[in-house]
Amino acid sequence: MGSVGLLILFAIVGAAICAKARSALGAILFALLALVFFVATPVGDGLPGAVSTFMSSFDDAATRL
C-alpha cells in the first residue's frame, strides 16, 4: 500500500507538468488518476460519502428558497 502514495505523487507531478506545458487534457487526466488512487486508499475511502453529503445538503439549501 505504500507504493500508492508514490503513484499519487507522480500523478500530481504529472498534472503540474502538463498544466505548465499548457496541456489541459493531460493535466485533467493526471488529476483524475490521482483522485482515483486517493479514493482507493483507506484514507480516501470516505471521500465519496463526504461529497455526497455535501451535495445533498447543498441541494436541500437551494430547493428551500
pTM of structure: 0.67
- Taking a C-beta distance cutoff of 8 angstroms, is the pair 37, 7 a contact? yes
Number of domains in the chain: 1
Q: What is the pLDDT of residues 5-63, one digit of tens each?
A: 788 888 889 899 998 999 899 889 989 988 888 888 887 778 888 888 888 888 888 88
Count CB-CB contacts under 10 A for residue 8.
19
Count CB-CB contacts under 10 A for residue 15.
20
Domain assignment of residue 10, given as a range: 2-63
